[in-house]
Structure 1
């Protein structure tokens, strides 16, 4: 209680002292407000996404940020399409313009907005009331602040930051998955186009053989059965050619979708051949080390476990108090002095002492640890399986390219010598041409299988499926549950 002066008036501090106290209070309030104002990053969090993706695909994604494609991206797309598109260029094209991937980057921008919102202090609540009647007027005013929200803000801000990191990892998973899907679609499109060229060669052989046998049949030099067999082979080859053209069209359209092409699709051109096999395959130890360093799913599981641990600490801190609010209020009635005071709202833990929240948080933390162990177990197994398929495909492709095809070429040279020496006829020479075409087709299939296995091994090393949709589901399953609990209400 303030001392009473002899005049009967209550003593008040000097005006200068009151002003000084008011300035200090306003300064403290300003610092608190500034501390609670989270801000947006300069590029929507794409730096981390770009670094994670570039380390695993060799290419850097780019978010458009607006409804229109940036001019620089358009210029790069035109430059890439001006020449036959390679595998690395296909990955780059998908990462800078594929619409589905851009939608994932838009989700990242939404997640950043949520991070900024969660990183700011709770707003104070101002309530006003007015009652009038019978010549009386009563006005109530109250300003309430969520003290528990303010006290727990640093912890919640850290949780919100981890959620934001999770969103970045999800975007990186989608980008890496889209890049690997584009690479695999490129392998299929080039291989099927190359197979179509072989089929055209086989068709030429079949047409030549049919014409030759028909001429010989007219001269009476071959039986009718031989002529019928050549005609059947020619017809079957024509049907196989139609199927090969349809397969080439379907593979090209799958590549167009993976690259995100629309109006520019007719300009897409591909190399005539798949790349040659590498001189040496990857070693298993190299693959396992790359998996340890690069597997996104393992690192995301660790991130989820850390976020859940933070959630456990927050639940322990707030489980005893559900609601804690403080505020100031005043009451004014006409003809009466204004009444001022303060209020404190506290929910008493009479029936729920917070044990349910603590038990839930601890169970979630154990779940995150077990999930991390499961992801690591599956990662090692997937890498071993993918490497075994990769090495088997490499060995098979090497046998075709280094042994079978050279042998077929030697046989063709011998057959030509025999034909020039009039030791064999034209039909034998055409049969050998068909055999060489079949051997080239088998070698192409082995080469295609190797590059597909290589793409699957890269996906296993990165820890993402080769389909972007599956990659998004993986990220959601690993990251959605654990961090979200930390943002739950108190």
Structure 2
């Protein structure tokens, strides 16, 4: 090998870092699913800039999209995933560089004689197989990028769901307080009328029981609101800033038109992260199969130069070549195993695609059912309840009904508002689950990481076994 060729090989073998820890692809995949980009807290990230953005987001009631952004830029568990990506890149750079030569020195003295052995050994097969090995290391690093993207999308969707729960629980607590005011008024009125002999004692006892039950429900609603808020705080990664978190008073109104199912299945096949990861694993296994076939016959091939020097004698120089012969294993086991892994990867890809289409159809059916139910509550039942209340008030003003009937109607209207809120919450949760189905990640962020590890584990393992 000439000096220029050797220099070119050494320069080619010096793998370098990407400069951003591999976050560009993670950001692209995350933005395709969530419409927002995550941010890794690397060495070049200003903590002051991150905190300034956090304070800006918390300066006003936090919306759903802002909750997703907040989780993507500061949630500690997600940042730990990004740190794993940086570690994986360091391992990729290390594996992508040419093997170091080995120098051996020996000294033997006695009887007035001194013998010195020196040798320089190069892993020739490692140098020859460097392009293929570098490709394997690259695919392993890409796998970790997929896992980071799945974790980011899963965390964003988890933050959105936690936001829906927190706003709905807060709104339910307010409705429960209104119902409590109605119950208190009814109980006081029933007590006064019972003392005057205008209503039987049974009516008073019923109103008193309703007041007590409502008070217990209010305490539970308050606890539910606090618990939902804390779940949101964890999903957003808030700590010292948790006290500054404020939420809107109401969930967003229903969209005028629901999403369309048309092309949803094809969009899932084209865009879902789990489908793309399965394809990535199959392609990596196919490339690994080619590498296994190329190297299965020769297991160890090393070349080197050595010299031997003894005092008073001329220096002896020569070359050394070590070759492991496949006398007992001709590589058939590795070839057969690689082919089986490739077929397994293809079947797994087909299974993931099948499940993707089915999951999208199931999630859309739940989404559309929740949308229709919420529409009935918001556009039919609530307006109908309002018309009934208006009619009851007219009757009360005309002295056709008493105050008890008016309070009963107020209770019914408050309960109807609670049912409408529950339907609205169910719709927005179904919408978040549909987004998860379209993105190809589980609804919970913890499950998303497990999914990525399962889908991508086989390709790196087989690639590592190939050389």
Give the TM-score, by structure 1 length: 0.94
| Distance across 1 between alignment mates of 2:49 and 2:442 | 30
Match of 2:373 among 379, 390, 396: 396
Instruction: Work out whether residues 30 and 37 of structure 2, in 8 Å CA contact, stay in contact via their aligned partners in 1.
Output: yes
Q: Give the aligned partner of residue 60 of structure 2.
A: 83
Q: Give the aligned partner of residue 290 of structure 1.
A: 267
Match of 1:194 among 167, 171, 184: 171
Q: C-alpha deviations, 1:78-108, integer Å up to 9, x for none?
A: 0000000000000000000000000000000
| Distance across 1 between alignment mates of 2:234 and 2:30 | 20
Q: C-alpha deviations, 1:186-223, integer Å up to 9, x for none?
A: 00000010000100000000000011111111111111
| Distance across 2 between alignment mates of 1:282 and 1:274 | 18
Q: Give the aligned partner of residue 140 of structure 2.
A: 163
Give the TM-score, by structure 2 length: 0.98
> What is the DSSP-based 3-state SS (H/G/I as helix, E as strand, rest coil) of the residue aligned with 1:40?
coil
Q: Is structure 2 residue 333 aligned with structure 1 residue 322?
A: no
Q: C-alpha deviations, 1:395-422, integer Å up to 9, x for none?
A: 0000001110011000000000000000
| Distance across 2 between alignment mates of 1:146 and 1:269 | 62
Shift in Å, 1:289:
3.6
Shift in Å, 1:335:
0.7
Q: Give the aligned partner of residue 374 of structure 1.
A: 351
Shift in Å, 1:487:
2.6
Q: Which structure 2 residues correspond to residues 80-479 of structure 1 after superposition, within 5 A?
A: 80-479=57-456
Shift in Å, 1:28:
2.3
| Distance across 1 between alignment mates of 2:339 and 2:465 | 15
Instruction: Work out whether residues 419 and 429 of structure 1, in 8 Å CA contact, stay in contact via their aligned partners in 2.
Output: yes
| Distance across 1 between alignment mates of 2:67 and 2:8 | 51
| Distance across 2 between alignment mates of 1:441 and 1:287 | 33
| Distance across 2 between alignment mates of 1:209 and 1:286 | 55
Q: Is structure 2 residue 461 aligned with structure 1 residue 484?
A: yes
Instruction: Work out whether residues 192 and 248 of structure 1, in 8 Å CA contact, stay in contact via their aligned partners in 2.
Output: yes
> What is the DSSP-based 3-state SS (H/G/I as helix, E as strand, rest coil) of the residue aligned with 1:284?
coil
| Distance across 2 between alignment mates of 1:447 and 1:338 | 89
CA RMSD in angstroms, aligned pairs only = 1.2
Instruction: Work out whether residues 405 and 443 of structure 1, in 8 Å CA contact, stay in contact via their aligned partners in 2.
Output: yes
Shift in Å, 1:485:
2.2
> What is the DSSP-based 3-state SS (H/G/I as helix, E as strand, rest coil) of the residue aligned with 1:59?
coil
Unaligned runs of 5+ in 2: none
Instruction: Work out whether residues 294 and 461 of structure 1, in 8 Å CA contact, stay in contact via their aligned partners in 2.
Output: yes
Q: C-alpha deviations, 1:306-342, integer Å up to 9, x for none?
A: 0001110000000000100000000001111000000
Q: C-alpha deviations, 1:140-182, integer Å up to 9, x for none?
A: 1111111111111111111211222211111110000000000
> What is the DSSP-based 3-state SS (H/G/I as helix, E as strand, rest coil) of the residue aligned with 2:119?
strand
| Distance across 2 between alignment mates of 1:202 and 1:247 | 17
Shift in Å, 1:26:
3.0
| Distance across 2 between alignment mates of 1:182 and 1:349 | 56
> What is the DSSP-based 3-state SS (H/G/I as helix, E as strand, rest coil) of the residue aligned with 2:322?
strand
**Segments ≥4 residues shifted beyond 3 Å:** 66-69
| Distance across 1 between alignment mates of 2:268 and 2:346 | 20
Unaligned runs of 5+ in 1: 1-23
Greater Rg by CA: 1
| Distance across 2 between alignment mates of 1:466 and 1:53 | 15
Q: C-alpha deviations, 1:375-397, integer Å up to 9, x for none?
A: 11111111010000000000000
Shift in Å, 1:55:
1.4
Instruction: Work out whether residues 178 and 466 of structure 1, in 8 Å CA contact, stay in contact via their aligned partners in 2.
Output: no
| Distance across 1 between alignment mates of 2:123 and 2:206 | 90
| Distance across 1 between alignment mates of 2:14 and 2:326 | 32
Instruction: Work out whether residues 64 and 160 of structure 2, in 8 Å CA contact, stay in contact via their aligned partners in 1.
Output: yes
